[in-house]
Structure formats: C-alpha cells, structure tokens
Structure 1
Amino acid sequence: MEEAAIGDAALFHSEQRLQQAARVNDTATIRELIWGKVNINARNSMNRTALHWAAMAGHERAASLLLDHHALVDAEDKFGMTPVLLAASHGNLSTLQTLAKAGATLTARNRLGQTLLHCAAVQGHPSVIRYVVEDLEGIPVDDPDQNGKTPLLLAAESGHSDVLSLLCELGCDLQAVDKESNSALHLATRRGHAELLSFLTSAICSDAQNQDGLAPLHLASQAGHLSCVRTLLDSQCQINALSSRRQSALHVAVERRQPPIVELLLRANINLHLQDQQGHTALDRAVRSQHAALADMIIKAERFHARSLGANGQTGELDLTLRHVGDLSRVRSVLWALATRHQKPGDWKKLALHWDFSAKHIQALENQWTGSDSYKEHGYRMLLIWLHGISSLGKHPIKELYEGLVEIGSTDLAEKVRRQANAEQEPARRCVLM
C-alpha cells in the first residue's frame, strides 16, 4: 500500500512537471518526461492537458513536441476550450496554425457555443480573425454563440475597435442583435466604450430598443457613462425616446442617481414633462427617492424654460451653476441667515409664490423632512434655486431679494437683509440702492 502511494505521488509529480514545462516552453524537460513514460495527456483540476498550456502561452516548440508524441489535439477543458480555441483566445496565431496542421477541429465550440472567431473577438486579436476568415473554411463570420452574440457583438461589448473595423471589412452583419435584442451599439454603450459609438451610430439606428425596451441612451444614462451620453446626443439620437416602462433617459438617470448625466440631459433640453407608466415625471422620481440635489436641478431647469417661453427663448443656454453670481459667498451668507435665523415657518412659501414657484415645486422642496426645523432647509433650497434664476438674468440678487421681501409685506426682514449685506461689504463697495 505504501509503495503504491509513493508511486502515485511520483506519477502525479511527473504530470505536474510536464504541464509546468509546457507553460514555460521547456522542451528538454518535456523530452525527459516523455522518455520516462509520463502520461502526455494527463489533466489537472481544470481538465487541461500540457497541450492546453502550450497553446495558451503560444509556445510553438512545446506544442509541436507534444503533438509529435500523440497529445490529444482536441482535448476539452472544463470550459469546453480545446487547445486551438485557447490559441485563438490568446492571439497565438503561429501556434493556432501548428494545431490546424496537426488536424485540430477548427469548427470546435466551447461551452458558450463560441468558435475561434468569437474567442479572438472577445480578446481583441485581429490577426487571428483575418486568418480564420481568409484561410480557413466552415466558420461563418456572423455565427451566433449560445447568447446570440456574433463575433461583431462581442468585439463591440469588449471595446475592440480594430476588431470591429476588420469584421466590417470582412462583411459581417452590422445589424445583428443578440437574444435580448441588443445591437452592437447597445453593448458598446452599456460597457462605456464611447470611442466606438461614432462609428456605430453611422450604421446602426441609435434609437432601436432591446427586449427591455431600452435604447442605447437609456443604457448610457443608467450606467453613468457621461461620454457615451454626450456622443449619442451629438449624433442626434431621439433624446425623448421612451422605454417599455415609458421612462425617458432622464427618468433612468434620476432613478440611478447620476447627477452628471442628469445635468447633461437637462442642458440638452430633454422634455421635463414626460410621464412614466405610473404617471411620474423625472421630478416626481427625484422627490420620491429623496435626492434633493437632483430635484433642485430639475426645478432650476423647469423655471429656466418657463422664463425662456416668457422671453421668446431669449434667455440663453441653461447653466445649472452659480458662476454668474458676483461675491457668491457673501450672497449665500445673506440667504442662509434669512432662511435659518429670520424667517418663520411658512414665510419662505410666500416668497416662493411671489417668485412664481409652482405648487409642485414647493411640494417637492417640502418633501425632504429633517425635523421640526425642516422649513429652514426648505427655505434655503428655494432661495438658492431663485438665486440661480436671478443670476442667469444678470440681476442684482440682494436688490431683488430686498424688493421681494418688501412686496410681500416683510419690510422688517428686508431691512435686516440690507443691514447684513452692507455689514459684510466693504464701505467703498456698498450698494447705493440699499
């Protein structure tokens, strides 16, 4: 029993040495082990033989030596990968050619139903693809795998522009879709491969929906791929397209909490009034998710567009920042003091109504409950949104605030604002209107 165990251990050790030698192209050790009657087709825990490792590493001499001594050319590992599939996957063209001459089955498929072309496309090996298409037979360029993905779709999903270009040159079907109706444009967008989109949008409909009813713009907004959103918008995709849930890209970006995407869509003039299948607008979604910053961005955009309509579209482009406000820190200090120290509950709503905040906007601001003093936060948010609008019109915020307070009958508060603003301003720069 003990001798048998020692023998088994020695045999296992020899098989391990053979596989390691194949990995590093150590043909001397391979010959030594072959002379010692090692099992040349011994497998490891992944069901791989020495020939698998030689093919994967691109060691032509080791592969040839193993083949000369009857290594199984079509042995499959646990993933259904034969040596020739591994050579294609790792871009080892010369080793692949050696295996082909040795009689390897060139139409082999792995467990995912992928051929040589699929394996090379996933990993980005154009030289292998050109060889397979131009020099071999029986491997269609548009053959789908088990998920319905053609080599083109896998190249787009993996972001390999050189492979994508080559497959198009070789006559692949650019309109192919997988089992979930994803086109190459869907797959590239979902993975964030913005560099592929300009090419793909010139050949594939950018508004086509997959089986979930999502267009590429929805997927880019969902995943937060800002550069993809920008590229799709530049290609004139339908910005207001709705998914099967009747969600716009803005709904999706709000739902996934993607502020940069939301801002980009707002600046691109997406329709803010579109309702999903529950009848909710993007603002409703932002409010329900308690995402105050997104809600405030949408309110700013709605007020901006309302001003544009009132001024026949002459208010310029939407800018959600406060960069137009001069001495911003002083102005914010005045607004903060007004909202948190001087106003009583409900006072901020009077100002909001005076400044044409809609009932829906006021309700959205009130939705964020932080305790009995929530009205202070609500008031401050409202004032900052108002400040955004005033600054975009080039008006003096302190002067407008003073006049607004006077007009709603809060003269005492107006005087407090004037005194604080002047106290925080250098004497030489005091506003003469105050």
Structure 2
Amino acid sequence: MPMQPLSFFHFSTKALQIIVFLGGLTSSGFSTHATSEATEVSGASQPTVVYTALIWAIQENNLQKVSTLLLDRKKINNQDFLGYSPLHYAAKYAKPAIVDCLIKSKVLLDQVSVRNGNTPLLLAVERGHKKIVSLLLAAGANPNIVNRQGYNALQLAIQKNRKDLVQLLLQAGAMCDTEPSPLWIAIKACNLPIVQMLLQQKQMVETKDKKGYTVLHWAARQNVVALFRALLNAGRFNINAKATNGATPLHLIAANKKSKLLKTLLHCCLLEINAQDCTGSTPLHYAVATQQRKSVDRLLRYPAIDVNIQNNIGQTALHYAVQCQDRAIVKKLLVHAGRGVWIKNKEGLTPLELAMHQNNTKLYKLMLVHVGLLGMD
C-alpha cells in the first residue's frame, strides 16, 4: 500500500497545476507573498516541478521513478520551506533502496531542517530505521550534529532504547561527552545493556547536572542494583561526590525506604560514611529523620560510623530519633551514643531533655536506663 503523502504536498492535480503556473509567473518577474515569504524564512531554493515529482516518488517508494528524476542532479539538494531535502523525506519515510540511490547520486548528507534542526540521520534515528541509519553513517553522515531540542543522534537512540542504533553510532564516532550526558539518559531509562556499552567508551567522564547530581546520584534514585554495581565496578565515578545541596549518593540511599543499594555501597572501601551535606547532616541523620530502620541498622554496623555528629542546628541522630519517638531507633543509637545523650542542640536541649518534653514515658525511661548504665546522674 503506497504511503500517504505529507500534508504540504497533498494537492489535487488541478491545484498542482496552479502551483506550477505560479512558479512560471515568478520566473517571469512576478512573485506572490507566499513564495517570497518561504524564500525569506528558509533561504532555500523554491520547489520546482521536478523537485515536487521527486518528493512524490520518494513518498511512494517508487525506486525506478526516483532513479530517473535523479538524473537532474542540479535539483537533488533543493529544500522546501521546512528545510527538508529529498534525503530528509527519504530518511523519514522511504525504503533503504531509495536512500541508497540518493546517496549514490552524491546528495548532501548533513543538510539541516529549518524548524527542528534535524538532519536526515536524526530523522532516521527518530523513526528507528536501522538500515537507513547504517547507510547514512557508512556514507559519512555526521553523528554529532545537534537539533534545536539539543539532542544528537546518540542521545535520541538512547531515549528510544535502541541498543543496535547506539552501537552503530558509537562505531561511527558519536561523542559521549555531550550534554545531556548519554550515560544519564541511559540510567534514567534503566537500560543496563546501553549503560554497559557506554562505560566501555574512553571518552566517558564524570559530569554533573544542574543540581550537581552525578551518574551515581541518578543511579541511586533509580534503585536498580545491577545498574548501580555496573557504575561502581567501572571505577570512574566518585562515590562520595556531592550535589549542590551537599548530598552524596549515600544520603539519597539512606533516606529511601525502598532502596536496595545500601548493602552494595557499604562494601566500597573509599566510602565516607560520615559525609555531611550543606546542613551538616550525615546519611545517618537522613535515615533516622525518615525513620528508615533497616538503613539505620546497616549504617550502625559500619566501623567508622559516628552517631554523635551534630548538624548546623546542633542536632545529632539521637535528637531526631527522640523527636520521631521511634523507640526502636533510639535503642539502637544508645548502644553507640555513649555520652551523646548529653549533647545540646542550638536550642540548648539534649536528647534526654527532648524525651522528657515529649511526654513519652517509655522513651524517657529507656534513656534514663542508659544514663544509669553510664553511671551518670
């Protein structure tokens, strides 16, 4: 079944004759507002009868007709008011044989459309035409041109989860150190095969987004163990990197009730377990304040953990545990807190005094027992 033509070319025979007639008037010294405006916007050659016929032949996938029309090579790179050349239409709608025919006729490979800034290669990637992408790359199409949305062919291929296209583009020299990071896009899509493919590229380096998040921050948010391990095993990324707010990947993981990554991260020998964010809070502060009991338990097993670190308002993890009235967490912290029960926050209150103000008898008695064990009045 022949493909339906684009709306721009969807005219009756009579209408097409009128356009040809107007084209004749233009060449005779007359012009219309529409044609002059199109020329002003695109700066491209005005469509001709041969050009229009070529577009129709491409949309109909009529290889024989396309081959005949391509004998007039002066017109094969003409662009319409959108900046689309015959190769644009072929890459978007036609069969590989027609694209190959155009390439052999020495068409320009990297013409950019006016509206979206797309090249034929970008259109082929958007449509997922693997064979056409392969033909264009083999002919020398530039894989690193960026469209008006800020994406190149590699980024588009990753967004569409097309590992096969990603492989073709990387082999053709697609750059990996662009913004937005191709690796970020793959991580957000939770596409492990593409992530692994990108990690093999030498040009892959650590970068940050506008919030200061690194790929490990994003992987922590995605909460996919295999993905996170792949990044850690690559050895290229700082596990203690801080975002703009000072949070490390460990901060995010510790506060996430559904996180599966804490055990994996705690096995990293370079991990800074007591890293503080811009508020002075540690991952333990995060875990306690959000009442993540499993996270608290795992963090407390780490040899270098310091439960008595105060944040910018003087609060320790024990202060937050008391405020949350979480007896289970308070009990765990007391094992490690020692004289931390007497640390005062910026308001001059100790965890013990906070417990008293909470009117929680059981919690207060629990802390008094701890004080008694310390031999303190």
**Paired residue secondary structure (2:301):** helix
Counterparts of 1:183-202 in structure 2 under 5 Å? 183-202=181-200
Counterparts of 1:336-347 in structure 2 under 5 Å? none
Q: Any idea what the Cα deviations from partners look like across 1:227-256, whole Å, max 9, x if unmatched?
A: 321211122232222234332112344567
Equivalent of residue 133 in structure 1, options 127, 131, 137: 137
Q: Is the 8 A contact 2:254 2:295 kept in 1?
A: no
Aligned to 2:327: 379
Q: Distance in 2 between matches of 1:277 and 1:176?
A: 29
Structure 1 length-normalised TM = 0.51
**Letter in structure 2 aligned against 1:187:** I
| Distance change (3 Å), C-alpha of 1:85 and 1:245 | farther
**Letter in structure 2 aligned against 1:37:** K
Q: Any idea what the Cα deviations from partners look like across 1:355-382, whole Å, max 9, x if unmatched?
A: xxxx9443333333xxxxxx5xx22455
Q: Is the 8 A contact 1:85 1:115 kept in 2?
A: yes
Counterparts of 1:16-95 in structure 2 under 5 Å? 22-23=3-4, 37=14, 39=16, 59-61=60-62, 64=65, 84-89=87-92, 92-95=95-98
**Letter in structure 2 aligned against 1:273:** N
Q: Any idea what the Cα deviations from partners look like across 1:320-371, whole Å, max 9, x if unmatched?
A: xxxxxxxxxxxxxxxxxxxxxxxxxxxxxxxxxxxxxxx9443333333xxx
Q: Any idea what the Cα deviations from partners look like across 1:24-67, whole Å, max 9, x if unmatched?
A: 9xxxxx9xx96x6364999xxxxxx99989867xx4139958x9
CA RMSD of aligned residues (A): 4.8
The answer to whether 1:259 aligns with 2:259 is yes
Identity over aligned pairs, percent:
19
Q: Is the 8 A contact 2:145 2:152 kept in 1?
A: yes
Q: Is the 8 A contact 1:74 1:105 kept in 2?
A: no
Q: Is the 8 A contact 1:55 1:95 kept in 2?
A: yes
| Distance change (3 Å), C-alpha of 1:225 and 1:52 | farther
| Distance change (3 Å), C-alpha of 1:53 and 1:185 | farther
Higher helix share: 1
Aligned to 2:302: 305
Q: Any idea what the Cα deviations from partners look like across 1:196-248, whole Å, max 9, x if unmatched?
A: 22232232445333454332111222344443212111222322222343321
Give the total of aligned pairs. Answer: 288
Aligned to 2:217: 218
Q: Any idea what the Cα deviations from partners look like across 1:365-407, whole Å, max 9, x if unmatched?
A: 3333xxxxxx5xx2245568999xxxxxxxxxxxxxxxxx9xx
Q: Is the 8 A contact 1:224 1:261 kept in 2?
A: yes
Q: Distance in 2 between matches of 1:41 and 1:199?
A: 54
| Distance change (3 Å), C-alpha of 1:125 and 1:62 | closer
Q: Distance in 1 between matches of 2:64 and 2:222?
A: 44
| Distance change (3 Å), C-alpha of 1:231 and 1:271 | same
| Distance change (3 Å), C-alpha of 1:283 and 1:222 | same
**Letter in structure 2 aligned against 1:85:** H
Aligned to 1:276: 277
Q: Distance in 1 between matches of 2:174 and 2:299?
A: 43
Q: Distance in 1 between matches of 2:169 and 2:63?
A: 32
**Paired residue secondary structure (1:362):** helix
Q: Is the 8 A contact 1:186 1:219 kept in 2?
A: yes
Q: Is the 8 A contact 1:73 1:83 kept in 2?
A: yes
Counterparts of 1:315-330 in structure 2 under 5 Å? none
Aligned to 1:348: none
- Which shows bigger deviation, 231-240 or 201-210? 201-210
| Distance change (3 Å), C-alpha of 1:229 and 1:363 | same
**Paired residue secondary structure (1:292):** coil
Could you tell me how far 1:285 is from its partner in structure 2?
Answer: 3.4
- Structure 2 residue ranges without an equivalent (≥5): 20-51, 70-75, 306-314, 336-365, 371-377
| Distance change (3 Å), C-alpha of 1:255 and 1:384 | closer
Q: Is the 8 A contact 1:207 1:216 kept in 2?
A: yes
| Distance change (3 Å), C-alpha of 1:122 and 1:194 | farther
Q: Any idea what the Cα deviations from partners look like across 1:403-432, whole Å, max 9, x if unmatched?
A: xx9xx59xxxxxxxxxxxxxxxxxxxxxxx
Q: Is the 8 A contact 1:240 1:248 kept in 2?
A: yes
**Paired residue secondary structure (1:187):** helix
**Letter in structure 2 aligned against 1:190:** K
